[in-house]
Amino acid sequence: MASPANEVERWSALRVWLFSLFNKSPESNLAAVDRLALDSGDRFLDLGCGLGAALEHAAKTGAALAGVDPSPSMVARAAERVAGAEVRVGSAESIPFEDDAFTVAISISTYHHWADVATGLGEIRRVLAPGGRLLIVEKKLKRGTGHGLDVEGGESLARSLETHGYGSVEVDTMKAARTEYLAVSAVVP
């Protein structure tokens, strides 16, 4: 769930390049963005935007786009891929945008990399405007280890969201291609 040393994971340029060979447009990104039903009035933030696949898909809705990623190489690739997006180096724990800047925030298969969940949830709440929606999507694990969340981990995340003042918290499943994901959503009151 969080990195052991409480440090944000930053990828090297080589690792980003290798990742890009096999992950140009993951189905999970497309399904998660579609689930949000964005429109042109939304201000969308992708946390851990990686190569920008979710930003590129969200651009079709006319929403204002922004992304953060701890890897400068990922930020450069995403900014190049989606010219209209404002992409910055940052993390869930340190989002380099103003308070109430977004109506929607998403984290697709990046939550398990967060160094400090409590700080991340607080930062996201800070940048989401009242009524703002959060969607965290992680591969559904059968057991509690690996890159993703098991059902118990999803329920724990839901409780953490409620503790941080989010409302309308739900844990659901989502399918993309042949993979099942946990989708944890919440709204800022």
Task: Judge if pTM exceeds 0.85.
Answer: yes
pLDDT digits (tens, 9 = 90+) for 124-152: 999 999 999 999 999 999 876 778 999 99
List of domains in the chain: 13-19+26-187 (3.40.50.150)
Task: Please check whether residue 51 is in contact with residue 19, taking contact to mean a CB–CB distance below 8 angstroms.
Answer: yes
Check residues 12 and 43 and name the one with the higher pLDDT: 43
Q: How far apart are CA 22 and CA 51, in angstroms?
A: 11
How many other C-beta atoms are found inside a 10 Å radius of the C-beta of residue 22? 7
Minimal CA–CA distance to 46: which of 31, 28, 58, 60? 58
Q: Which uninterrupted H or E stretch holds 156?
A: helix 151-163
In the predicted model, what is the mean pLDDT of residues 40-61?
Answer: 96
Predicted confidence at residue 10, as pLDDT, reads 61
Tokens read off for 65: 């786009």
